[in-house]
Copies of this chain bind each other. A is one copy, B any other.
Amino acid sequence: MKLVNAVRCFDGEQRRYEHLSDTLNCTMQFSLYLPPKALQGKHVPAVVWLSGLTCSDENFSSKAGAQRVAARLGIALIIPDTSPRGDEVADDDAYDFGKGAGFYVNATQAPWSQHYQMYDYITKELLDLCHTHFPLNGKLSISGHSMGGHGALIMALKEHDQFRSVSAFAPIAHPSACPWGHKAFSGYLGDDRAQWHAYDAVELMRQGHKCPPLLVDQGSADNFLAEQLNFSTLKETVEARHFAAQLRLQDGYDHSYYFIASFIEDHLEFHATYLND
């Protein structure tokens, strides 16, 4: 693993690392924020952030304003990329499939299965790597935006012993039932709907998976709300399962990082309740 750069930020450090991923079969970069407390040698909890379509690990790092809050709360931020990378990795011209659009699943279909194993990469390899090399105390929560908001939901549902809490901004809540998810899941997972349901948050809830405490924010002026995000289906499913959850419709907010920046403090404070317990 190689440190690509490190800059001071709110008395902590914003770092970028490069490493060869065995799971993804390619060289990956990820970002990490260590709060002042961690630089002073203490072991701290971490929030994993999963980004949306077209993003790398740098969008959240540079636009969300999360470090200020993470510094204050003594929480590390682990920020993976959104897909495998490199010239040898299969790609697609569209913004919503291939590189930048891994959808946090383990692909089973050629040619994608060779590299697109983002679910295992994050839940196993990357988190192991971070716990081996950084001053983390093993307590984890997870959050994300859009495609990454859904990634956070499925990881929390499928690995609910690993994550103490989960939150999402405008998640693609039910990919089996929207155009983005249809395209990605049929490409990466084939035509068998049962395979799709193993990576669909609403379906996992319906199947009986447990869910850690949950916070979701959704902007009412989000251009993708009607066609892609299935917020009301998520709300109904969460209520039917009686999960400890807050799902908030935020008046006038869109799908951008300006929306995320406006509410990231709420989300990190929510996670801190469980991480510092």
User: Which positions in A face B, CB cutoff 8 Å?
Assistant: 7-11, 14, 62-63, 65, 67-68, 219, 221, 252-254, 256-259, 261-262
Contacts and interface: CB of A to CB of B under 8 A. Distances in A.
Contacts of A67: 258, 261-262
Contacts of A65: 65, 68, 261
Nearest to A64: B65
Contacts of A10: 261-262
B62 A257 contact: yes
A52 to B, nearest CB: 15
Contacts of A68: 65, 261-262
Q: For the complex formed by this chain, how many copies does it contain in all?
A: 2
A14 to B, nearest CB: 5
A197 to B, nearest CB: 34
Contacts of A253: 7-8
Given A63-B63, A65-B68, A68-B65, A258 B8 contact: yes
A259 B8 contact: yes
Contact of A8 (B8, B14, B252): B252
Given A7-B253, A65-B261, A67-B258, 13 more contacts: A7-B254, A7-B256, A7-B258, A8-B221, A8-B252, A8-B254, A8-B258, A9-B258, A9-B259, A9-B262, A62-B62, A63-B63, A67-B261
A220 to B, nearest CB: 9
A7 B63 contact: no
23 contacts: A7-B221, A7-B254, A7-B256, A7-B258, A7-B259, A8-B221, A8-B252, A8-B254, A8-B258, A8-B259, A9-B258, A9-B259, A9-B262, A10-B261, A11-B262, A62-B62, A62-B63, A62-B257, A63-B63, A65-B261, A67-B262, A68-B261, A68-B262
A262 B70 CA distance: 12
A124 B11 CA distance: 39
A48 B254 CA distance: 26
Contacts of A262: 8-11, 67-68
Nearest to A11: B262
A79 to B, nearest CB: 14
Contacts of A259: 7-9
Nearest to A257: B62
Contacts of A9: 258-259, 261-262
Contacts of A14: 258
Nearest to A252: B8
